[in-house]
Structure 1
Amino acid sequence: MTLRGERQADFAYQAVYRYMITLINEVSTDTRVKLPSLRQLAGRLNVSISTIQYAYALLEKEGRVYSVAKSGYYAWPMSANPSAWAGGDLLDRLYAAARRPGMAVLSGDEPALLASLDTALLRLERELVRQYPKNLQPWSQPYGVWELRAALAARYTSSPTHCWHADNVYIGADLRGVLDILIEVLGLRGSTVIVESPCDWLILRLFQDAGVRILELPWTPEGSLDRPTLERLLRDEAVHLVMFSSTVSLPSGVTMSLYERLEVARLLSQHDCWLLENDTFGRLSFDTSHTALRDLVNPDRVIVFSSFEKLLGSEAPYGFLLARRLGVELQRQFLLRSFRLSSIRQRAIARLHQSGRFDQHLRTLRQQLGEQAVRMSLRLEQQLGGQVSFRMPAAGAAFWLASTRAVDMRQVFQRLLVQQVVVAPGELFSVSGLHHQNLRVSHTFHGHPNLDIALAALSDALRQAQTG
C-alpha cells in the first residue's frame, strides 16, 4: 500500500492517521497488541519515518496507543464489558473506557473542544504550501522554525530583564517529548523535585519513570500556598527544582496571590533553586491581570514549558520550552531526538500569532469557557448539591470536585462506566495517596446527549459508594 497520491486536500500524516485508526480497530482485543514499528509502517505506506512518528504522537495523545521504551507502540486493550475494566492500572482503564463508542467522557480538560482553530490553521497551511515549495524548505530545523520561535519569544517577553529570544525557544513533536528532554538535560533522574498537588498525571508518570523523587505540595483547604511546608522542604531536602503553574494551577483551579508568588520567588532565590513553570493553561486564565511567576524570579533559573494543543486544537500538538541557559545541552538533546516537524504547520501557527488571530481566538475561548463554567456550576449545584464541594475554576475546562462524605472513588468510577460515563478519580493526580475523595469533571465534554443524565448517574454512584 502507498499513501502517495492521496487526495490533494490531505497531508501525509492525516492519511497515515486514518490508516492507523482502521488498523487499531481491526486488531484491538481485551489484551494489549503490539503495533508495527515506525520503520515497518514507513516502508509499508511509502512515507517518511517522521510522518509515521507524527501520526503515532496524535494517536498517543488521544489515548489510542502508548509507547514502551525500546519496545515500540501498543494499542490499548478494548473491551465491550465494563466489568472487564475492574482490575489493573486505573489510568489504563480510564483511557480504555474513554475510547469506547457512546461514552460520556467527563474525564478530560480540553478547552479547544469548545472552540479550536483547526480549520483556520489548515486553511492557512495550504496557502503557505504554495508560498514555500517543498524543494525550497530547509531539510532540517531541529529546534523548530525560526518564525515560530521568534513569535513565541516575543509573546513571553515582558520587560528588558525578563526577555526571551528565538534562540531560547525549542519546539518538539509534543509535550511528552519536550518533557523527556528536560528530564535528561536537567539531570533529574534520581533527584528530588517539588510539585504542586494535584498535578497532571502525564508529568507525574514521566517523573516516576525517570526515578525522580517527587515531593508533593498540596494547596491548603482554603486554596492558598502552604508556604511553611515549601520553606521547610527547600531547607531540609536536596531539592533540584520546583514546578509550579504560571498563573492557575489545574485541576485544582487555584491561583496564587501576588504576595504568594513573591514569596515563592524569594524562597527560590534564597535556596538557588530552579523554577520549572507549567504554562499549559497560562493563556486561559479568566483573569488576565495576573503576573506570571516566571516574571518574578531570576530569568536565568527558569525553564517554561507549554504546548499549543490546549489553546488551538488537535492539529497543533507541538510542545515547546523556553530556557535562557542550558543551550548547548538542549541543542544536543533536540538534535539526538531528530524531531521532523512540519515547517509549514509551524509557520501557520506563527502567522496566527503575528496576525492577531491567536489573541482574538483566546479572548473568545476564555469568554466561552467562563460562560460554560457558570452554567456547569449551576448544574452541579442542582444535581450534586450537598454531595460535593467545589470552587469556580479560574481557567481551563474542568471542575475539581471533593466528595463531602467518605466514598470509595474507584467504586464511583466503576459504577459510572456501567452507565457509560467516564470521570477522572483524584488519585490519578498524586503519587503519594492524596486526593482520594476528589475527581475531575469536564464542562466541555463530548459523547453524551444529555449532561443532566450523566450528572444524575454521578450522584447515584457517589451515594452508593459511601463508606461511612
Structure 2
Amino acid sequence: MRNPEQQRNTYLYETIAGNLTHQILSGVLISGDKLPSIREICQQYKVSMSTALQAYYLLESKSLIRSVPKSGYYVCYINPTNALPNKSNPSLYLGNEDTSNIVSKVYDSISSDHIMLSLGVPAAELLPLSKLNKAFSHTLHHHAAHGSGYEHVMGNPKLRRQIARLSANWDGKLTENDIMTTAGCTGAMLQAIIALTKRGDTIAIESPVYFGILQLALSLGLKVLELPTHPETGIEIDALKIALSKNKVKLCLLISNFSNPMGGTIPSENKKEIVRLIEHYQIPLIENDMYGDLYFGTERPENCKTYDESGLVLLCSSFSKTLAPGYRVGWLTPGKFAEQIRRVKFATAISSTTLTQEAVACFLEKGRYESHLKKLRITLNNNCLNYMEAISNYFPKGTKISRPQGGFMLWVELDPKINTAGLYDKTIKMKISIAPGRMFTLQNQYNNCLRLSYGLPWTNQINNAIKTIGNLIR
C-alpha cells in the first residue's frame, strides 16, 4: 500500500477520473449517458473548476467520454460484451514440445511494410527518441573514454541509483547496491536461471506465458511445469500450493503485472501469499515486472518484491517496453543470491553496455521518465479500448477477449475449430502479423488463441487490419 504522504500527493483530478473510469468500465455508466456538469463535479469533490476540467480532459484522452458543445460531456465508450477467455487448464505433465519453429516463423517476418500486431513492443513514435538521442550524444562526448570502456560488473552506478529511486513507486526500498544491470529483462532472467538451476531441474510458471521464457528453459535443459492461470488475476494460488508441495520445483518464474500474453495482474493478497509460499518452501521466485509502469489506473501496482524480506524474490525488469527496446537496458535484484549471479554475469557478459546505460541514466536523472510514462499510458489505454471495440465488432460472435488494466497485450480466444497457426499463414499474406497462441506453451493447447499487441497507434489502417483478420476467421 502507498504511504500517507504518497496518497496526499496523488492528483485530485486523477482520483476523479479514476472514479468515473471505474463506473464506465463496470457498466454503471454506458455509452450516451450524460456526465455531471463541471460545476456539479466541483461541488461533489470540492475542487476548483480547473481540476474538474483536467479530470474530464483525461477521460477524453482515453476515449471514454466526449464533449458536445453547449450540451456537456457524454460517455462514448462502448463496454465490450465479449466474455473473458477461459482460465487455462494445462496438463500436469511436464511439457517439452518445442515451438521454436513457429516462433521463428513469426519473428522472421518482421518487416517495416507489415502491420506487426505480433510484436510486444511500443511503436517508435510513442517513445521519447529525440530526448534519448540527446542523452546518448551527451554520453558519447562527455563520458570517460567516450563510453568505450567496461562498466563495473554490477553496472552503471548512476543508473542503479535511478532505478533504486523509482522503486518507491511500488513501495520498494532498494539501494543501488541491491541492483545489477543486464542486457534487457531476458538477460536478467537468463543470469538468474543459470545461477539457480542445473539441467534437468523443474521450474513452475504460469500458462500461457511469454515464449521467450519457454525458449530459455528449453535451451538450458529445464523441465517446465505450466500452472492454471486466470486472465484477470494471474496464476491460480491453489495450483501453485499443490505444485510446490508435490513437485521438486527448483524455482518459480512469474510475470506479476499485466502479464504477457494474457494481460492479467496478480492481486496484492495473492502476491503476499506467493511470497509466503516461497519462504515456506525456500524456493526462489524470479519475478518479471517489466510492464508494471504501464498501468492504466491511478496507482502503479505493487509486485511480489514489495513483500519480500528474505531475499528470495529476484525482481527482473527493463526499459525495453517504455524507452528503447534496442538499447537492451535491463536489471535485476539478485537478493540473497547476489554472489552467484554476479559470477554468472562476469562469466557470460563481463559488463553491461556502457553507452546505453549512461544514456538511460541521464534521461532518468533529468526527471523526464514520469512525464513520458503519463503520455504513454494514456495512449496505450486509448489503444486498448479501440482495439477491443474493433475485435468486438469484426470478430465472430463468441470471441473472448482479455481486459488488461495495463501493458499492451490482448489475449483473444476463438472458436475451438479455428487454428491460429493456420490463420497466421493467411494474415501474413495480407502483410498482417499476429502471434498464434501455440507460441506461449510447451503443450498442445491454445491452438485457437492469439495475442495481439496494441503498441501500435490507433489508425484507420489498424482498424482495417483487425477487420481483415475478422473476415479471415469467419
Q: Shared topology, TM-score over 0.5?
A: yes
- Corresponding residue of 2:407: 396
Read off the aligned partner of 1:103 and give its amino acid letter: H
* Structure 1 residue 98 corresponds to structure 2 residue 113: no
Structure 1 window deviating more from structure 2 (432-441 vs 214-223): it is 214-223
Read off the aligned partner of 1:122 and give its amino acid letter: N
Structure 1 window deviating more from structure 2 (248-257 vs 111-120): it is 111-120
* Structure 1 residue 408 corresponds to structure 2 residue 422: no
Q: Select 1:325's aligned residue among 328, 336, 339.
A: 336
Q: Give the whole-Å Cα distance in 1 for the aligned partners of 2:124 and 2:318.
A: 15
* Structure 1 residue 231 corresponds to structure 2 residue 241: yes
Q: Select 1:249's aligned residue among 246, 259, 278.
A: 259
Read off the aligned partner of 1:203 and give its amino acid letter: I
Q: Select 2:389's aligned residue among 370, 378, 390.
A: 378
- Corresponding residue of 1:210: 220
* Aligned-pair CA distance for 1:341: 4.2
- Corresponding residue of 1:264: 274
- Corresponding residue of 1:152: 163
CA contact (8 A) 1:140 1:340 kept: yes
Q: Give the whole-Å Cα distance in 2 for the aligned partners of 1:203 and 1:405.
A: 26
The 1:185/1:410 distance shift into structure 2, 3 A limit, reads same
Read off the aligned partner of 2:441 and give its amino acid letter: S
- Corresponding residue of 2:201: 191
Q: Select 1:435's aligned residue among 424, 427, 446.
A: 446
The 1:302/1:375 distance shift into structure 2, 3 A limit, reads same
Q: Which runs of 5+ in 1 are unaligned?
A: 1-86, 464-468
Pairing of 1:56-455 with structure 2 (within 5 A)? 89-99=101-111, 102-113=113-124, 115-134=126-145, 139-157=150-168, 163-220=173-230, 223=233, 225-287=235-297, 288-339=299-350, 341-445=352-456, 450-455=461-466
Q: Give the whole-Å Cα distance in 2 for the aligned partners of 1:441 and 1:96.
A: 17
Q: Give the whole-Å Cα distance in 1 for the aligned partners of 2:338 and 2:431.
A: 48
The 1:138/1:459 distance shift into structure 2, 3 A limit, reads closer
**Identity over aligned pairs, percent:** 21
The 1:137/1:418 distance shift into structure 2, 3 A limit, reads closer
Q: Give the whole-Å Cα distance in 2 for the aligned partners of 1:186 and 1:393.
A: 32
CA RMSD of aligned residues (A): 2.7
SS of residue in 2 equivalent to 1:436: coil
CA contact (8 A) 2:160 2:180 kept: yes
The 1:196/1:353 distance shift into structure 2, 3 A limit, reads same
Q: CA-to-partner distance for each residue in 1:334-359, whole Å, 9 max, x for gaps?
A: 22224454434322211222222111
* Aligned-pair CA distance for 1:148: 0.7
State the TM-score, normalized to the length of structure 1: 0.73
* Aligned-pair CA distance for 1:238: 1.0
Q: Give the whole-Å Cα distance in 2 for the aligned partners of 1:252 and 1:159.
A: 22
Q: CA-to-partner distance for each residue in 1:205-233, whole Å, 9 max, x for gaps?
A: 01111111111113147755422211111
The 1:158/1:281 distance shift into structure 2, 3 A limit, reads closer
State the TM-score, normalized to the length of structure 2: 0.73
* Aligned-pair CA distance for 1:175: 3.5
CA contact (8 A) 1:98 1:105 kept: yes
CA contact (8 A) 1:242 1:273 kept: yes
Q: Give the whole-Å Cα distance in 2 for the aligned partners of 1:221 and 1:247.
A: 12
* Aligned-pair CA distance for 1:237: 0.4
CA contact (8 A) 1:108 1:398 kept: no
SS of residue in 2 equivalent to 1:311: coil
* Aligned-pair CA distance for 1:241: 1.4
Q: Give the whole-Å Cα distance in 1 for the aligned partners of 2:335 and 2:177.
A: 8
* Aligned-pair CA distance for 1:437: 1.7
Q: CA-to-partner distance for each residue in 1:430-451, whole Å, 9 max, x for gaps?
A: 1122322210112233899722
CA contact (8 A) 1:246 1:294 kept: no
Q: Give the whole-Å Cα distance in 1 for the aligned partners of 2:142 and 2:308.
A: 42
Aligned residues: 375
Q: Give the whole-Å Cα distance in 2 for the aligned partners of 1:148 and 1:245.
A: 23
The 1:236/1:95 distance shift into structure 2, 3 A limit, reads same
* Aligned-pair CA distance for 1:194: 0.8
* Aligned-pair CA distance for 1:401: 0.4
Read off the aligned partner of 1:245 and give its amino acid letter: I
Q: Give the whole-Å Cα distance in 2 for the aligned partners of 1:195 and 1:369.
A: 27
Q: Give the whole-Å Cα distance in 1 for the aligned partners of 2:140 and 2:324.
A: 21
Q: CA-to-partner distance for each residue in 1:42-99, whole Å, 9 max, x for gaps?
A: xxxxxxxxxxxxxxxxxxxxxxxxxxxxxxxxxxxxxxxxxxxxx9921121122223
CA contact (8 A) 2:100 2:215 kept: no
